[in-house]
Amino acid sequence: MTRLDERPVTRPRPRRRGRLRRWVLGVFAVLVAALLFGAYAWQPAEADFRSPYLAKMGSRYADTPIARFHYIQAGSGSPLILISPGGTSVIGWKEQVGVLAKDHTVYVVDLPGQGYTQVKDPDFGYDLDAMTTAIGSFMDTIGVKKAGLAGNSWSGGWALAFAQRHPDRVGKLALLDATGLDLPGTWLWESLKVPVIGEVAVKLSSGRSMARSTAEAMMVNKKLITEELLDEWWAPSTFATNIRATVLLERRLDWSTTESALPSTKTPTLVLWGKQDTVQPVERAQRFADLLPNDQTYILDGCGHAPQLDCPAPVNRHLQTFFAN
């Protein structure tokens, strides 16, 4: 007999729990599918852009089995090769070409995965072996046996690795806020090493608005970030081969080899570093200075990660003096 003040016990309905589980699994499957599609199927539209800078400077191409290297050339005298900063193009040295061309034959080159260079080798490795081989291949094709080298960020690390492996081919070396130390990057760059996440992140960052955000984060002197510079900076970052290269380079570049070889790197080296660098902290300049046996190191106040664009006057002065002889 049931008492009137008792209430029936309510038990969860298995059917409702099953629906919730299926809904959660369905949402998760959709998210995974979206990430995989973004990483491996979707491709941002490539910029339809005609570079005014290259129209003025005149693009040149050097064909090798590795790549069809894009470069510009100016001046006459002893050869000086400026390697396009990682993730951009020859525009990265626009403030230096005219100044250095007064005393040198200046070459500014896009390495594979950068700027307007077209990779031919389907098995190109995008590691230090591949990038240093590419530098040598370019030099051979333009007929330069020995040159001064300069690089900023990634390209500084590539130039350093080339000088360590081929000291007879590098007279002097300039490193501007360069990689080359066996230290972690920012959380954003480290995230590119994660499969799927890295591919999606690079593609999403290829928009013009992101180019502006990147430039503003890297440079102290914001007034130098013109619409013209942004267009030149952004357009090559939309190329499918360059997007893929950015991910592979971040995962494959092993800077432990360059750091361990620093004490035996005899090439005269100029180290320039922006004091306000938000990508490679300024303390890393001192680490280079401590390990390199033949260096001149200068910290540039009021400059960020790309000092050649951010603070061209002091950078030009240092480069002219260093490469003068």
pLDDT at 1 (0 to 100): 44
Within a 10 A sphere around the Cβ of 119, how many other Cβ atoms? 20
Residue type, 247: V
**Please, what is the angle between helix 14-40 and helix 197-204, to 10°?**
60
Strand 170-176 vs strand 269-274: parallel, antiparallel, or unpaired? parallel
The string of DSSP codes covering 290-323 is: HH-SSEEEEEETT--S-HHHHSHHHHHHHHHHHT
Q: How far apart are CA 16 and CA 39, in angstroms?
A: 35
pLDDT at 42 (0 to 100): 66
The string of DSSP codes covering 118-181 is: EE--TT---SHHHHHHHHHHHHHHHT-SSEEEEEETHHHHHHHHHHHH-GGGEEEEEEES---S
pTM above 0.95, yes or no: no
How many Å separate Cα 74 from the centre of its chain? 24
Say if 239 falls within a structural domain.
no
Could you identify the residue written with the tokens 């570079």? 51
Say if 158 falls within a structural domain.
yes
Q: How far apart are CA 321 and CA 325, in angstroms?
A: 8
Report the first-to-last Cα separation within the chain, whole angstroms: 109
What CATH number corresponds to the domain at position 56? 3.40.50.1820
pLDDT at 37 (0 to 100): 53
Q: How far apart are CA 145 and CA 167, in angstroms?
A: 11
Per-residue pLDDT of the chain (325 residues; tens, 9 = 90+): 445 455 555 555 556 777 777 776 676 676 666 666 556 666 778 888 999 999 999 999 999 999 999 999 999 999 999 999 988 999 999 999 999 999 999 999 999 999 999 999 999 999 999 999 999 999 999 999 999 999 999 999 999 999 999 999 999 999 999 999 999 888 877 887 888 887 888 888 888 888 899 999 999 999 999 999 999 999 999 999 999 999 999 999 999 999 999 999 999 999 999 999 999 999 999 999 999 999 999 999 999 999 999 999 999 999 999 999 7
DSSP 44: P
| Domain that residue 285 falls in | 52-183+255-322
Q: Between the CA of residue 252 and those of 157, 256, 301, what are the distances in Å?
A: 13, 12, 32
Say if 139 falls within a structural domain.
yes
Contact present, 165 and 175 (Cβ < 8 Å): no
pLDDT at 39 (0 to 100): 62
Say if 12 falls within a structural domain.
no
Q: What is the tally of structural domains in the chain?
A: 1
How many Å separate Cα 75 from the centre of its chain? 27
Phi and psi torsions of 151, nearest 5°: -150, 155
Say if 75 falls within a structural domain.
yes
